[in-house]
Amino acid sequence: MHVISELSQLLFPTRCYGCNAIGISICSNCRREWHPHYYLTHIQGLRVNSAILYSPTASRIILAAKENGLKGADELIIEAIVHVLNSANFGKHNVRLVPIPSSANNRRRRGRSFIPDLCNEISKRTSIPVIPALQILRKVQDQSTLSAKARASNMHGAFGIAENIYPRGDVILIDDIVTTGATVSEAARALNAHGFRVLGSVTACLAQPLR
């Protein structure tokens, strides 16, 4: 067993998710950039709580988790979101986590629903239940190259409420990153319109929007 794990380290050495350096899953340099803090911003009246300022390092960590399904990178994002949930002090009575769902295309391509998957683990660690209340109603574009205005119209009316999701009540939205807030504000709008009360949103990363 020992020999096998040493052999696999030789063939597939552990690399830093941030910079690809051989060694551990996050090196000390990247750890300085990916070190959970607590940032509170307000986007269209929604409290957005985040752990990490977006950077090229953060972008590589998120891609490693989202697109390559690397468990160590998942772990960094889970850890960041749990840190914020513990810092934000939402109060844990009758609050539930609502993950931002993945589109059917992304689900198929990645073999899983990224944020809903992470949410299950976050729920285990925080004892806050998950309620998969949101569904995507129509095709949305990848947002990464869109301006703030284009993102808002891209997301407008994109979310609906899944069937048989009861009871309604207090919820916290969970996503990997917030930029303009188009996704979380649209999700909050849909939930609030259907009898939920969105207390805020928690994301691993906080990015500066494109102008």
200, 146, 137, 191: which is closest to 173 by C-alpha?
200
Least gap, CB of 72 to Zn ion (angstroms)? 12
Binding flag, residue 116, Zn ion (CB under 5 A): no
Can you list the alpha helix ranges (DSSP code H) found in 13-103? 28-33, 56-66, 71-88
Q: Which of the stretches 28-36, 66-74, 152-160, 187-195 binds Zn ion when contact is defined by CB under 5 A?
A: 28-36
Crossing angle of the two packed helices 56-66 and 114-126, in degrees rounded to 10: 100
* 66: amino acid identity, one letter: K
* 71: amino acid identity, one letter: K
Binding flag, residue 115, Zn ion (CB under 5 A): no
Binding flag, residue 16, Zn ion (CB under 5 A): yes
Least gap, CB of 20 to Zn ion (angstroms)? 7
Report the residue from 25, 30, 90, 99 that binds Zn ion according to the rule CB under 5 A: 30
Q: Report DSSP state, residue 69.
A: -
Residue closer to Zn ion, measured from CB, 16 or 171: 16
Residue closer to Zn ion, measured from CB, 73 or 134: 73
Q: Which of the stretches 10-18, 41-49, 150-158, 162-170 binds Zn ion when contact is defined by CB under 5 A?
A: 10-18
Tokens standing for residue 20: 């690809």
User: Strand (E) positions, 54-196?
Assistant: 96-99, 134-136, 159-161, 170-178
Binding flag, residue 19, Zn ion (CB under 5 A): yes
Chain contacts with Zn ion (rule: CB under 5 A): 16, 18-19, 27, 30
